[in-house]
Structure 1
């Protein structure tokens, strides 16, 4: 195994993160999922806080649909914003756009959508530490819970170059399938990595199961 990062240390500036928040939220009344609030904090803010807890992480947020609602709540956040034209929206295009906005010093990259309410700093740390101690042949690591791929995923400069070259498979899950020898599907029972909110049914189920309120911010309601 390679890598010697201690679980309690802060990370260096070679790591970046792209938060995907360009979707239309079509199954949630065409509202931005990242502006749902858990315990009074917007999901997009919770993601940023969790990532920044790792240390010096460069963060890009990809907006598209609902940019006019989301951008104002990011004005005081330590992130860069890039906007994807709504008619060009796809997850692979969002990933490529976000990656292209990162500085050249970024060699390792975290990717996460903005609608996983329970993800916290410890969850990010666990994925990051697995990545830092990976075998040399592994370029991509993602959590997997009961056979379901989760987020965040993290990968190195080799994958970054493939994305920037226009590889269309990244962002759809097809990259993992096409590159099994370079991918580690980290098996975990932590459902934070797969508990996303795509519909009103998901939101109601989340509240019933966790006994926590997941409500729309005033900017949306």
Structure 2
């Protein structure tokens, strides 16, 4: 009699994790230039973010554009990483507006969404992988993870598909922070010693701080560097 081979368990499908990068700002504190196009070693901050998300298995990725949309598209990073551009017609309405526009562009049925800022210079694939691992191991009953460095909130954030549905079902003011206020017990403040989750580039002081921390220069592309110089 031939022995029946043991039944192998069917592996669980990998979770579907989508990504959203917010890049609609005017850059008013940086000479009205797109901060996401600052470069480290010739690679823009936006491209570094798209690379980190993509290599961590996040797909699809949408990038919300507003101010400077044409210049950002001209850079080519979205095309190189197959990211979907999404226009926010009212970018001055702020992050909540861009978040909602971007979430509506993502497909339904995602298990989770990573929401990232386009101007965080030190987020890499390892940082995204650590976030996703922490989210997968989050305490029962929590649906949104925010990294916390010495008690201070960081980015990117990760939340479940259910949170995405709830945000979009809310009014125009419902975003990540309002959702957290309504559902405080469902928020996992993931404490981490890694300060790169807190670091973004909002102004010239931030740019110099990154250079001091990393020893690497943040430089504008030639056309944006020239745009701030006085005419001869």
Q: TM-score, normalised by structure 2?
A: 0.85
Corresponding residue for residue 209 of structure 1: 213
Corresponding residue for residue 8 of structure 2: none
Q: Does 1:123 align with 2:100?
A: no
Q: Does 1:28 align with 2:33?
A: no
Cα RMSD between the aligned structures? 1.7
Distance 1:209 1:16 in 2: 31
- 13 and 147 in structure 1: CA distance in 2 versus 1, 3 angstrom threshold: closer
- 87 and 190 in structure 1: CA distance in 2 versus 1, 3 angstrom threshold: closer
- 8 Å Cα contact 2:109/2:161 also seen in 1: no
Shift of 1:158: 1.7
Corresponding residue for residue 68 of structure 1: 70
Distance 1:181 1:105 in 2: 24
Q: Which moved more, 1:133-142 or 1:20-29?
A: 133-142
Structure 1 counterpart of 2:46, from 31, 44, 47: 44
Distance 1:99 1:84 in 2: 11
Distance 1:136 1:208 in 2: 40
Corresponding residue for residue 175 of structure 2: 170
- 36 and 164 in structure 1: CA distance in 2 versus 1, 3 angstrom threshold: same
Where 2:60 maps in the other structure, the secondary structure is strand
Corresponding residue for residue 133 of structure 1: 137
Shift of 1:121: 0.6
Shift of 1:88: 5.1
Q: Which runs of 5+ in 2 are unaligned?
A: 1-12, 226-232
Shift of 1:135: 2.8
Shift of 1:146: 1.4
Where 2:80 maps in the other structure, the secondary structure is coil
Corresponding residue for residue 17 of structure 1: 19
* More strand as a share of residues: 1
Shift of 1:56: 5.1
